[in-house]
Amino acid sequence: MPSAPTTSLDLTDPAVVADPYPFFARERAEHAVAWHEQSGSFLTFSHAAVSAVQRDRRLGRLWTDREPAQRLEPFNLLHRNQMMENEPPEHTRLRRPVASAFSRGHVERLRPRVRELASGLLAEVSGSEGFDVVAAYAEPLPVLVIAELLGVPASHAGDLRDWSQAIVRMYEPRPSEAVVDAAVRASEDFAALVRDLVAVRRRTPAEDLVTDLAATELSDDEVVAAVVLLLNAGHEASVNVFGNGLVAMLRRGLRPGPDVPACVEEMLRFDSALQLFERTATEPVELPGGVLVEPGQKVSALLGAANRDPAVFERPDDFVVDRSPNPHLAFGVGVHFCLGAPLARMELAESVALLWERFPGLALAAEPESRGTFVLWGHHRVPVKDQPHGERES
């Protein structure tokens, strides 16, 4: 068995955070998998390696409470009970009730409401004067949608957005003390809201996901964890896919073609909202290139690197609005395939189509501002405007 290659790629380097893809390309040309001392894990760069990591049941999501455990108990409580942080059979037990609730038609029921919410948000902005499409559209829409799906009052939409953003900042390398404190407070407040709502729905059921989950065998802690996961995953992914894809298109003078869902798939591929997903070996595993991973060692699947692999995607660094086929890995594969993928796809297709319908001359009004994070990669601010027809042709 050959020894594993190594990489010194610094995932916190501002240049990598700003544009990781040239760095991924150089690494991928040298090795599909490499040991990364900085993170204490193997990094996977090729589509084949990332896909293998996600499909191999010997590489699991094994939650370990963050330390100091007592201080971080509110944060840890939300994660140790999540389906995403567990493997079968526990994962199956936690996922089945949520999947069953999703299958009752909640997503398709929301399609007209998504159009209504999106239209309402766009009616409040001026294309000629310009607006921040993230703050005015990409951020509030998925929060309003997921809140309606869950049954959380819309009056809490701002709180949900703030709590979600505070919690997910913990997923970045080496979070600061301020980030930790904010995540703990957000975890406490978010959990308290969901517990109150679950109690209300047990007394007065409604047509929402919290009502469905409250009627299952899940414990209160597990229902809270499921609701928080759905909000965080549904909100953060949708915001960043939308913002990243929009910036990519506007920089290149592109717009969606007749097949908007195909354009959405390219948005998902081109700039992955989630760049890194970690697994831990429970048995010895041989990865592509003959790299052996021993039990207890970690492997990080770099989704953005996989989605730009030239062995799978022709012209991988070009944004092709009607790309087909498009076997990207943005939603994962295997048992941890994103449960909210149908909702995300529907929401993105509707919101992208409506944006260009309302502002056919959409263009960047200023340079977008990055969130400055790597794991959840996206833009904090994207100023846009609607250019008159004459300006678009000049």
Catalytic positions, written as ranges? 233, 236, 238, 338, 347
**Amino acid (1-letter code) at residue 205:** P
Instruction: Provide the CA 173 distance to its chain's centre, in angstroms.
Output: 17
CB burial of residue 292 (10 Å; 0-12, 13-18, 19+): middle
Three-class secondary structure of residue 145 per DSSP: helix
Q: Tokens 């594969």 — which residue? A: 333
The pair of structure tokens assigned to 339 is 């449960």
- DSSP-derived letter for residue 3 is P
**Burial class, 203, CB count within 10 angstroms (exposed 0-12 / middle 13-18 / buried 19+):** exposed
The CA-atom distances, in angstroms, between 374 and each of 4, 15, 25, 41, 245 are 25, 11, 16, 16, 16
Q: List the structure tokens of 327.
A: 């076997």
The answer to whether 362 and 383 have CB atoms below 8 angstroms apart is no
**Cβ pair 186, 163 in contact under 8 A:** yes
Alpha-carbon separation of residue 351 from 112, 302, 358, 364 (angstroms): 11, 27, 11, 18
Number of alpha carbons in the 13 Å side-chain half-sphere of residue 361: 16
User: Amino acid identity, residue 4?
Assistant: A
